[in-house]
Amino acid sequence: MTNNIKNLFVSENESLKSVLKKLGKTATKVLVVVDGKKRLLGTVSDGDIRRYLLTGKDLNTDIAGIYKKEPIYFKKDEFTNEQAKQIFLKHKITLIPITSEDNKVIDFISWEELFS
């Protein structure tokens, strides 16, 4: 895996509008929410935002109350491609962050990468 994970990083203080723009630029359905030290906080998907907006909320709201705070992720070198495939199929997700031992996001694996 040689993904450029930094393109997918967002802060929990970013606005919905900013996150939607980033989703459009990266052409992904999921972004990775990290703190200032790049530690995994969660994930936010276009679906999470869409459901939130359908409740009549504002685009200028930050994503702190929207993103998934208990995301599915792997620790580096602690998973196989077969395990990843099973997780993707079971949970119907499109991206899984990969973290170092100190929980810093260092890479990701995507549905497209694994199943193509």
d(CA 105, CA 100): 7
**CATH architecture under which domain 5-115 falls:** Roll (3.10)
Global pTM reads 0.92
Domain extents for the chain?
5-115
- The phi-psi region of residue 41 (left if phi > 0; otherwise alpha if psi is between -120 and 50; otherwise beta) is alpha
For 29-67, the pLDDT digits (tens) are 999 999 999 999 999 999 999 999 999 888 999 999 999
- Average of pLDDT values for 94-105? 96
Position 1 scores a pLDDT of 41
Position 6 scores a pLDDT of 87
